[in-house]
Amino acid sequence: MEKLRFSFITYGCKLNYSEYSTIKRNLLNLGYQYVSWYTFANIYIINSCSITENAEKDLFVFIRKIKKINKKAYIILLGCFTHKLYKTENILKNVNLILGTKDKFDLPYYLKLKNKNKNYISISKNYYKSSVSLDETRTRSFLKIQDGCDYKCSYCPIPNFRGRSRSENISNIIKTIKKLALLNIKEIVLTGINLGNFGNFGFNKTKYDLFYLFNQMEQNLTANIRIRISSIEPNLLNNRIISLISKSKLFVPHFHFPLQSGSNYILNKMKRRYNVKRYIKNVKKILNIIPDACVGTDIIVGFPGEKEANFLETYKLLKSLELAYIQVFPYSERENTDAYFMKETIPKIMRSKRSKIIRLLSKKKKKNYCLKHLFKHYRVLFEKTKKNGYIFGFTDTYISSKIKWKPNLIKKFKAVKLIKIDNYNNMECQIL
Ligand code: SF4
């Protein structure tokens, strides 16, 4: 019998990506055949994100394109965006199956019902158990170790979709990393919705927090792999974690912690749990202990009430901090959040103007960060990427590095010297 062909696309955060990998792997194990997006398939799956502003519009564009390729295609919508669907009848006319953040893991079960000529929707409201998700097809793998969030940042709809914070069992995490190492995965990115909140098992906070987990990992993992942390809330990044990473044989010195605004007034309105002083203290602490560390951040511009003066505070703060990169997001309204009802909204044109200014600043920061590392020695993990005759990889400190293409470098760690910087902030290197 011919295998059913499925095509699968995912949006949003690293966590969504790792969940996509798990679902995809389950379908492959069941004998489905994966084909790339917009090629002929029997089943098309969209793993959605609630953050995408034009999610609904994009969805209909997708559906139209898919129908052009295969009129009879079975279309499935998964994930966060499904929790925002109010007029499901309209969507169900075009999509055959809709599964929420919990239900999407039961996709194989729903696929068995597929021949009954009926469209299904299942968006469970109850909270679900956290799961370990991984992707063993690449050099790097995203490993979800925490899900949900107990915070209530005023702009964020995520806790509505993903429920309260809960964590994966520590021994399962260690076992999974060992398995990944056996599959020749060289870098693991630990992901979660609010990773710093690790330690809630069955909704009760325990003493087995993120620091405890990292310590256990240090003691129990000897494989030739490196571990990167995707992101930590500024109030949850503590001295013990910084100090452990500074001496670690596993964890790389890359800290991504989202500032969101450099104005205490706006941070308050956002219901963030730190202030500017605390943020600055954290950055300085990291760079005092690990001078070459990569520190990156996220910024939201155009939040309701963000006056020019507040934006300038953000700009000046970002300029003064030794950051390696800034990811900027123009504020966009999300239903069912406190910020949605706030007055003093900022015109979209202003939001995009402010985004551009921060993006330019980020470019300069990135360049300065690379220059700071010029002629220094680092470890690079080379990946499969081949572009313009080069093979690419990242240093532990998250600098994109390249060297003339040599296939035997794929998935290898190499000690290198960074010798040149190109126009895209990649650094050419020499193997030592
Ligand atoms: S910490 Fe804030 S922004 Fe992050 S998921 Fe929780 S509520 Fe959303």
- The rounded percent of the chain whose pLDDT value lies above 70 is 89
Atom of ligand 1 nearest to the CA of 193: 5
Q: Is residue 163 domain-shared with residue 241, that is, in the same domain?
A: yes
The answer to whether residue 128 sits within a structural domain is no
Q: Is residue 216 domain-shared with residue 148, that is, in the same domain?
A: yes
Least confident of 119-123, 140-144, 361-365: 119-123
Q: Is residue 21 domain-shared with residue 111, that is, in the same domain?
A: yes
Q: Is residue 289 domain-shared with residue 398, that is, in the same domain?
A: no
Atom of ligand 1 nearest to the CA of 157: 8
Ligand 1 geometric centre to CA of 206 (Å): 20
Q: Is residue 150 domain-shared with residue 259, that is, in the same domain?
A: yes
Structural domain count, the chain: 3
The answer to whether residue 414 sits within a structural domain is yes
The answer to whether residue 67 sits within a structural domain is yes
Give CA separation, 310 vs 113, 264, 364, in Å: 54, 9, 22
Name which residue sits closest to atom 2 of ligand 1, judged by CA.
153
Name the band, by pLDDT with cuts 50, 70 and 90, for residue 138.
Answer: confident
Test site for ligand 1: of 158, 273, 300, 329, most ligand atoms within 8 A of the Cβ: 158
Name the band, by pLDDT with cuts 50, 70 and 90, for residue 53.
Answer: low
Ligand 1 within 6 A of CB of 156: yes
Ligand 1 geometric centre to CA of 157 (Å): 8
Would you say residue 52 has pLDDT above 80? no
Q: What is the pLDDT of residues 342-392, one digit of tens each?
A: 999 999 999 999 999 999 999 999 999 999 999 999 999 998 778 899 999
Averaged pLDDT, 223-240: 92
Ligand 1 geometric centre to CA of 220 (Å): 31
Ligand 1 within 6 A of CB of 195: no
The answer to whether residue 133 sits within a structural domain is no
Residue 254 CA to residue 17 CA, distance in Å, equals 20
The answer to whether residue 80 sits within a structural domain is yes
Structure confidence at residue 3 (pLDDT):
75
Top-confidence residue, 319 or 132? 319
The answer to whether residue 282 sits within a structural domain is yes
Q: Is residue 199 domain-shared with residue 214, that is, in the same domain?
A: yes
Q: Is residue 243 domain-shared with residue 283, that is, in the same domain?
A: yes
Atom of ligand 1 nearest to the CA of 152: 7
Ligand 1 within 6 A of CB of 149: yes
The answer to whether residue 135 sits within a structural domain is no
Which domain CATH number covers 423? 2.40.50.140
Ligand 1 within 6 A of CB of 340: no
The answer to whether residue 339 sits within a structural domain is yes
The parent domain of residue 62 ranges over: 5-122
Q: Is residue 146 domain-shared with residue 191, that is, in the same domain?
A: yes
Ligand 1 within 6 A of CB of 151: yes
Ligand 1 within 6 A of CB of 325: no
Ligand 1 geometric centre to CA of 124 (Å): 21
Top-confidence residue, 400 or 64? 400
Q: What is the pLDDT of residues 149-158, one digit of tens each?
A: 999 999 998 8
Q: Is residue 315 domain-shared with residue 355, that is, in the same domain?
A: yes
Q: Is residue 297 domain-shared with residue 231, that is, in the same domain?
A: yes
Ligand 1 geometric centre to CA of 334 (Å): 13
Q: Is residue 359 domain-shared with residue 389, that is, in the same domain?
A: no
Q: Is residue 110 domain-shared with residue 202, that is, in the same domain?
A: no
Structure confidence at residue 422 (pLDDT):
94
